[in-house]
Each structure stands twice: as structure tokens, then as C-alpha cells.
Amino acid sequence: MEAVLQEAASVTLDTNGASAYANLNPTEEDTVVPLVNQTEDAGFSMLPSTEPVDMQFENIVFTATTGLFKKEKKEILHKINGRFPQGQLIAIMGPSGAGKSTLLDVLSGYRITGIEGTVYTNGTPRDLNAFRKLSCYITQDDRLQPLLTVKENMKVAADLKLGTDVTQKEKDAIIGEILKTLGLDKAVNTRAARLSGGQKKRLSIALELVNNPQVMFLDEPTTGLDSSSCSQCVKLLQFLAHQGRTIVCTIHQPSASLFQLFDQVYVLAAGKCLYQGSTDNLVPFLEDVDCPCPMYHNPADYAIELACGEYGEDKIDRMVKATDNGKTISWLKNFDVLPTQKALKDKYRKAARKTDQSESLHATSASHQLKILLKRDFLKSRRDSTLTYMRIGVNAITGLMLGTLYWQAGVDGSKVIDNYNLLFSILMHHMMSTMMLTILTFPNEMSILTKEHFNRWYSLKMYYTSVTLVDIPISIFCCIVFTVIIYTMTAQPPDMERFGMFSAISILVVFVAQSFGLMIGAVFNVVNGTFLGPTLSVPMMMFAGFGVSLKDLPPYLYWGSYISYLRYGLEGIVGAIYGMERPTLDCPGEKYCHYKYPTKFLKDIDIKGDQFTNDIISLLIILFFLRIVAYVLLRWKLVAVR
């Protein structure tokens, strides 16, 4: 039985270099018969056709800037060169810190600052916008929408990455072909979160294959996979490369069998090129530079050992000199028939055209992107137990607890101070629950956004608009559920106008707190955000006028009350309950009731009961400002830090 499985999982190469890839892995869930056997005409017949891309780079230097205040510069890549022909699977190898991921980022266009040198595509200096339309970047971690099934993820990718002129029937055919070829057709209805490691990696590749990119960059595609899944993943990449794509990936230390699956290897050490050529020529190259590979030793392991300096720095220098820091291409497979830059430029003259600045990087219009993103986000909201169902439950339970604790306090003149404490507690609940939920969940969404935005799925404006619009219904619903429970149980004034004012202030505070959390979540990770969120909220509470009234604030601190959204929330919510000339309160069982007159209470806490309109306007201004700042921070995080 084992022999049968091994035979079924083998790869056979045809005369054109295409591979018949079988991906049988009985241990992965939902996978019985993965990749279909390919014929001599193996390929994706339904994918849009594009021209192949031959890459070359010269004198690439990357300088990183470190330090927060005292800026220090460190050169990571040192004038390296290389040639990555189309139709090959290329591995960038080297020890930790050699510059593998940095080189991949530079070649893919993910890094755009601190770079010197030239990258050529088909013999012409690369136009980054045009190149991004031909390429994709697949990150080391599988950044998938966990709540969507395999088919749903693929449908979103197809709707965003294929033009609207492609019919739904054609999109379904493309999706079906990709999933069948990559062995995911048995898991189409499985959510991404429930896929095995190998399936997640294949789905990440499948999502980017939708628009048939001719250059694919993968950062450590075998990370976290067992040996069987690693082999399947690399065989899949080999199959895709032999169809004419240029596939470049970083890999740390492959096994001997895995190493042989690559067509070309590019070895780095301390930002310099030690070897560039075919895997078959690595051993002859090492003998040629008087660093012979020991018998029965994995050539990949030996190359890494040399790059680490285990056999002396002189051998590293000798290898760098022998390759001329990547300029030498004589060790490439069939190097003598590789076309020159001029020949490539003449052949692919059309592909080398400059992209019009007004031409969009995205395949679909902004309105279409928004429609697809809204559909996806509403589906996620319906399935999300934390952002939706737990959120509703927490609001209902908290409302019941506070309602029980402050039972009938709203109509009792002897419990005005207690009711005032309740009103501030309501604002604290709206602020902390909404803000912290955003801080804790958005960084995970941020990683997916980074990948999808770089790979041109959609514009940031449409993503941000979708995130804003989708959360409005659930936020309002949760707020209304909480407000109805707390308002009725604590016997606040049975007046629809006052209830409407109370609800409006509560909803605006929720939206402002959410925007505040979005600002923090967009920039910081979960750990730092969890610390910063409550810390930065303390001044908001201090300047709200609760505990220390606004009239008691020293002049040099009074400015803080104008930027505290809790100040306007408290003023508006207290005005809704005790303002508008509310009549005298009953004091059951009490001979003296200090705050039976609401006007006296408002005077003592230094809150005016007729500022509702001003409070609404102030909260709207703060909301608009924070939303703009959050968008700017998002754009900075996605673009400027590159």
C-alpha cells in the first residue's frame, strides 16, 4: 500500500518541462485525491493569458535605517546581481540574516525605500506599477479569511481580481479548474480556519492564481509544514513554474530531495551572492572554487555551512569573487541560449510599456470593489462569534446587571447621585467594550489587509469604507439592546424625546470609541494596543467632568475638556435625563431630598441641561476627525513603512 501511495504522489516531467503533479496526502482532512494528473498539454486552460517575464537585477543595494531618535544606517544588500529566467522555480537560500527576505521584498516591490540599483523585466528597467499587475507576493504566514470557506475565498478573489467583463460562469470555471488542479476541490465547503497547514498554503497560492500572475514571490513557503506537505508544496510550485511562470521563493535549509526540485538556487551570505545557477551545477561549482562538497553530504546543507563561515571567511570571499557577486550566469541551466537584455526588450516590447499614471492598479472599479467587500464583510459579521454574537450577549448581560444594581434609580430623587454614577458607568461601558474589541481584533485583520492591498485586490479607500459601513448596523443594534434594557429597568423618564437623545449620545460615543480603537489597532500590535488603549483613555475620563467638575479644573488643564469625547457624552446624556426643565422628582419615604429639583443637581455638577445640540455636533466633529486620522495611519502603515 505504501508503495502505491508513493507512486501516486510522484512527479513526472514531460519533454517540455511541465510536471504531472499528484498530491495524495491521506493525513490531511477533506483531502483524498488532491492534484489531478496532468497530460502533456498540462496547464490552466481557463486562466487569462499573459506574457512570461524574465527578471534581472544589477547592483542592488538596500540600506536599512535603525533607531528611533539616533538614526543609524546599515547596509543589508551589497551591490548584488542576478538573473531569474522565466519558467523556472528559483530558491533564494542562505543562513539567518543573510538578506533572503530583504532581496525578495526588493524584487517584488514590497520595499521601495532605501534601495539602489536596477531591476529589469524582459530587458527593460522595471516600471513598478506595471510589474505589480504581473506579479503577486505570498507571505510566510497564511493570511486567509478564516470565517469564509475555500470556495467563498476564491469567489471574492475572482470578483476583485478579474474584470467585470468576465462573466460569473467564466469565473466559476476558473475557480473550479484551480481548485481541482491544486487538490482543494474536496474541501470547497470547508472554512479556511479548519484547513490543514498544507491546504492553507495551497489556498494562499490558489487565491493569487486567479488572475494568472507571471511572477510569484513566496516567503518561506514550507514554514510550519511537515516533510510530506513541504514536498507537495514545492512540487506544486515546480508544476506552476514549468508552465512559464517565474517563481521565486526563500527557503532556509531544504532537504536533499527538496533541493533537487528547484531549477535554480541563489545563495546569499551577509548580503552578497555566493552562487547563482542550477541545482545540478552547485556541486561542480563548489569543486571549481576548491570547496568540494563531501561525499554523501546534502549540497544545500554544505552551501549553508559555507555561507555561515564554518569553513573560513576566505571561502566566502572566494565564492563571491567566482560569481562576481551574481553577475556570472555560466552556472545557469542552458545559460548559452538565454536571450540577452536587448533580445528580451525587442521580443516583449509591448509588455515593457510604461503604465499610465491615471491607470488603476486594480482590475475592477471602486464601486464594484465596495460591493464585493460589503458582501464579504456582512458574511463575516454573520459568522463571527466575537464581533457579533458575544458582543450582543455582553451588552444584554451588562445591561441586566446594571439595571438590577440601579433598579428604579431614575425616578427616585434620593438616588440622583447613584443615577449619575450609572450614567457615567454607561459611558465607560460603551467606551471600553467597543474600543478594546477593536484593538484586540483589528491587528489580525491588518495582516490580511496588508497582503490583499499589496496584491492589488482593492483600494484602501474602499476597504475602509466597507469596514465603516458594515459595523454600523451591529453597533447600533447592540447599543439599542443595552439602552432599552438599562433605560426601562432603571426607570429613566418615560419620554420618547429623552430616550432618543439618550440613545443618540450613546451611539455616537460607541462610534467615537471604535474610531479611537481603530487608530491604535492600525498602528500597534495586540500587546502594545492593549496597554495604550486604556492608558490613553484615562485623560478622557479625567477631563469628562465626573468626580472633578469642570469648574474645578485649573486653567492650564481646562483645554483638555474640549478634546474629551466623554465630556460631551456625559453632558449630553445627563442633559437628556435631567435637563429640558424636568419636573420635581419624588422622594419616597424621605423627609428631605437634596436633589428633588433637577436644576439644583445640574448646577452643583456644573453641567448645563440645554447643550444637547452642541454635544451632538462636537461628537460628530471628533468622530469625523478620528476616522480621518485612522485612515491616514492605515495608509502610512501600508505604504510609508515600506
- Which domains can be identified in the chain, with CATH numbers? 55-334 (3.40.50.300), 382-640 (no CATH)
What is the model's pLDDT at position 203?
92
What is the model's pLDDT at position 13?
33
Whether the per-residue pLDDT at 34 is higher than 70: the answer is: no
What is the model's pLDDT at position 354?
52
Within 13 Å and on the Cβ side, how many CA atoms surround 518?
A: 23
With b for 16 or more beta-carbon neighbours within 10 A and e for fewer, the 414-447 pattern comes to bbbeebbebbbbbbbbbbebbbbbbbbbbbebbe
Whether the per-residue pLDDT at 7 is higher than 60: the answer is: no
What is the model's pLDDT at position 2?
39
What is the model's pLDDT at position 443?
86
Q: Is the distance from CB of 268 to CB of 253 less than 8 angstroms?
A: no
In this prediction, residue 620 has a pLDDT band, given cuts at 50, 70 and 90, of: very high
Whether the per-residue pLDDT at 482 is higher than 70: the answer is: yes
Looking at the chain, the number of H-run helices and the number of E-run strands are: 22, 12
User: Of 111, 97, 106, 57, which is closest to residue 80 (Cα–Cα)?
Assistant: 57
Whether the per-residue pLDDT at 613 is higher than 80: the answer is: yes
For residues 473-484, give the mean pLDDT: 94
For residues 454-459, give the mean pLDDT: 90
What is the model's pLDDT at position 514?
93
Mean pLDDT (the chain) is 84
Give the lowest-confidence range in 382-391, 402-411, 477-486, 539-548: 539-548
What is the model's pLDDT at position 311?
80
- pLDDT by residue (tens digit) across 562-588? 888 999 999 999 999 998 888 888 887
Cell 486653567 sits at which residue? 555
What is the model's pLDDT at position 511?
95
The model's pTM: 0.83
For residues 505-524, give the mean pLDDT: 93
CA 28 vs. chain centroid, Å, equals 26
What is the model's pLDDT at position 68?
58
Whether the per-residue pLDDT at 71 is higher than 80: the answer is: no
Whether the per-residue pLDDT at 427 is higher than 90: the answer is: yes
For residues 99-107, give the mean pLDDT: 90
For residues 156-166, give the mean pLDDT: 90
Burial class (CB in 10 A: 0-12, 13-18, 19+), 352: buried
What does the alpha-carbon distance between residue 205 and residue 182 come to, in Å, rounded to a whole number? Answer: 9
Whether the per-residue pLDDT at 29 is higher than 60: the answer is: no
Percent of the chain with pLDDT over 90: 34
Query: H helices within 324-455, ranges in order?
Result: 341-347, 366-383, 391-405, 416-454
**Beta strand spans in 108-220 (E):** 115-121, 124-125, 135-138, 215-218
What is the model's pLDDT at position 486?
94
What is the model's pLDDT at position 349?
66
What is the model's pLDDT at position 3?
41
In this prediction, residue 19 has a pLDDT band, given cuts at 50, 70 and 90, of: very low
More confident residue, 50 or 376: 376
- CB neighbours of residue 527 within 10 Å: 9
Those residues whose C-beta lies under 8 Å from the C-beta of residue 5, and which sit 6 or more positions away, are 24, 26
Those residues whose C-beta lies under 8 Å from the C-beta of residue 348, and which sit 6 or more positions away, are 51, 122, 123, 124
Q: Is the distance from CB of 95 to CB of 272 less than 8 angstroms?
A: no
Whether the per-residue pLDDT at 26 is higher than 50: the answer is: no
Q: How far is CA 517 from CA 41, 45, 241, 433, 627, in A?
A: 53, 46, 43, 10, 10
Q: How far is CA 333 from CA 42, 71, 276, 357, in A?
A: 23, 43, 10, 38
What does the alpha-carbon distance between residue 574 and residue 561 come to, in Å, rounded to a whole number? Answer: 16
What is the model's pLDDT at position 313?
83
What is the model's pLDDT at position 469?
93
Q: How far is CA 214 from CA 85, 144, 179, in A?
A: 12, 22, 19
Whether the per-residue pLDDT at 517 is higher than 70: the answer is: yes
Q: Is the distance from CB of 573 to CB of 505 less than 8 angstroms?
A: yes
Query: HEC profile for 343-381?
Result: HHHHHCCCCCCCCCCCCCCCCCCHHHHHHHHHHHHHHHH
Residue type (1 letter), 19: S
What is the model's pLDDT at position 96?
85
- pLDDT by residue (tens digit) across 225-236? 888 888 888 888
More confident residue, 386 or 353: 386
Give the lowest-confidence range in 502-506, 556-560, 595-599: 556-560
What count of residues does the chain have? 642
What is the model's pLDDT at position 39?
34
For residues 308-315, give the mean pLDDT: 83
What is the model's pLDDT at position 358?
47
- Work out the angle at residue 570's Cα, subtended by the Cα atoms of residues 564 and 575, and round it to the nearest 5 degrees: 135
Helix (H) or strand (E) holding 556: none
For residues 181-186, give the mean pLDDT: 86
Helix (H) or strand (E) holding 329: none
